[in-house]
Amino acid sequence: MTKQEKVDFVINTLNKLYPEIPVPLDHKDPYTLLVAVLLSAQCTDVRVNQITPILFAKADNPYDMIKLSVEEIKEIIRPCGLSPMKSKGIYGLSKMLVEDYNGVVPQSFEALETFPAVGHKTAGVVMSQAFGVPAFPVDTHIHRLMYRWNLTNGKSVQQTEKDAKRLFPEHTWNDLHLQIIWYGREYSPARGWDLEKDIITKTIGRASVLKEYAKK
């Protein structure tokens, strides 16, 4: 298979498996998505979706959020882990939104990345899922699968994003990054991986990965 055929195979397989693509984090607008994505760092989406309703019942917009103290936010989000950093981030970005953006989440990668606790990946998720702007935010699942599929060298998340954007057509990015995440969770996990169920890796997988798997 040529690289182009591999890319087409990935896109076609994922479209068959996930014609409807659920969004992993529950939210109702760009602000609640931004907070949810920030909370999801080193925490499962399932756990985040259990905590955000409690937080958003008290504050689902930046104006109400800054009425809470960092300590109060920290207490609510504690189950998500890294709560000291995340609570300061949520409070800090809410304050910036109110002071500099009239409480409206800006539709810009550059602006989003100036907010506390918001990195490139978080900005990408918000731009993609809240505003429909093409982005390819790379999480651990995408990084692992792109390497398994021999579509990147796995050197860094930045390299994986670069390769994904180079290989996949721009109009596919917003759906595709979510489809890869769902596929990774369901068929190609880091632990408890069954190659028989993982049709994409089985078909186009990196030789060294398949060899390593065969040793098990």
The angle formed by the CA atoms of residues 159, 163 and 165, to the nearest 5 degrees, is: 120
121 is catalytic: yes
For the chain, give the secondary structure using H, E and C.
CCHHHHHHHHHHHHHHHCCCCCCCCCCCCHHHHHHHHHHCCCCCHHHHHHHHHHHHHHCCCHHHHCCCCHHHHHHHHHHHCCHHHHHHHHHHHHHHHHHHHCCCCCCCHHHHCCCCCCCHHHHHHHHHHHHCCCCCCCCHHHHHHHHHCCCCCCCCHHHHHHHHHHHCCHHHHHHHHHHHHHHHHHCCCCCCCCCCCCHHHHHHCCHHHHHHHHHC
- The catalytic residue among 86, 139, 163, 198 is 139
- The catalytic residue among 3, 45, 86, 121 is 121
CA distance 86 to 46: 17
139 is catalytic: yes
For the annotated catalytic residues, the residue numbers are 121, 139
